[in-house]
Each structure stands twice: as C-alpha cells, then as structure tokens.
Structure 1
Amino acid sequence: MIVLTRLNDAQFAINPDLIERIHSNPDTTLVMVDGAKYIVTESLQEVIDRIAAYRAQVISMARDIPPRVPGRPLGLVPDAFPAAPEKASPSNAVPLRPRND
C-alpha cells in the first residue's frame, strides 16, 4: 500500500496494483480499475516514485523470506549474482504448446 494525501489533507492508503491510470491536469487524479477516482495533492511523478518504491520493497521482502526447505530457494526472486549456474531439470520443465489461432 502507498500513502497519499487528499485535497483536504487527509491521508489514505491505496493498493497501487489497482490503479488503472493517473491524470495530472490540473490536479493529480488516480483512476482505479473499478472506476473510482481519487484526487491527491502529490504530483504525478511523486505517485509514480511511491509506486516504484513500494514494488522495490515487495521484491526486497520476497528475497528475505527463508526457504521452506533448507538449501532450496522459493523461486520467487532470483539472486542478482547466483553462486553457481543452476541446471534446468526436466522434471521442472513445462512443455510449450503452439497457440490455436
């Protein structure tokens, strides 16, 4: 969740994954996927920066989750610099199918 400020200086938290688009003329307006609209005091760039920081925090937190099985990663977020290249095992491979056009 990111915290934003309404025009009456009331703060509220919103799920950035539910924002469909953001308008900035003249006030910054968030349009949600369900059609709800929120006018906020933050600029368009500030809202984008908060969304990026939120997503970076989620990725960082996912990286810190201990594995359920010791020595076996969760597979959510790959390490930036893996210690050794992993071999793809055929048991984990998912076969690709052609599209039916």
Structure 2
Amino acid sequence: MIALSDVSGKEFYLNCDLIYRIDRSFDTIITLTDGKKLRVIETEKEIIDKVIEYKRKIYNGFSEGEK
C-alpha cells in the first residue's frame, strides 16, 4: 500500500493494485478499478514513484526494519 493525502490533507493508504488511471485536473484524480474516484494532493509523478518504490520492495523482499 502507498501513503497518499486527500485534498483536505488527511493521510490514507491505498492498495495501488486498484488504480485504473490517474488524471490531472486542478487536483490529481485517481480512478480505481471499481470506478470510484479519489482526489489527492500528490502529483501523478509522485504517485507513480510511490507505486514503483512499493513494487520494488515487494519483488525484492523487504529488508530488515522496513516491514
């Protein structure tokens, strides 16, 4: 899961496997596979970087202390 912040600044965690698409309007809008939309303050690039970092941890195994 990746940590994101909604437009009010409240942090939440998102299962990144549920992301269908990411669009940029005034805010960044994440559309999930079930059609639900989330507005977040992170940019598309920040979200993509978080997903890549998370997937690397999964595929390479968590190192001690990162669990």
Once residues 8 and 26 of structure 2 are traced to their aligned partners in structure 1, the CA distance between those partners, rounded to angstroms, is 16
1:52 equivalent in alignment to 2:42: no
Instruction: Select the structure that is richer in helix.
Output: 2
What is the aligned-residue RMSD (CA, Å)?
1.4
The number of equivalent residue pairs is 63
* Cα offsets for 1:38-96 (capped at 9, x unmatched): 0000011000000000000101117x7xxxxxxxxxxxxxxxxxxxxxxxxxxxxxxxx
Instruction: Select the structure that is richer in strand.
Output: 2
1:10 equivalent in alignment to 2:10: yes
Structure 1 unpaired stretches of 5+: 65-101
Structure 2 unpaired stretches of 5+: none
Give the TM-score, by structure 1 length. 0.59
Give the TM-score, by structure 2 length. 0.88
1:19 equivalent in alignment to 2:19: yes
Percent pairwise identity? 33
1:31-70 equivalent positions in 2, closer than 5 A: 31-61=31-61
Computing the radius of gyration from Cα coordinates, the structure with the larger value is 1
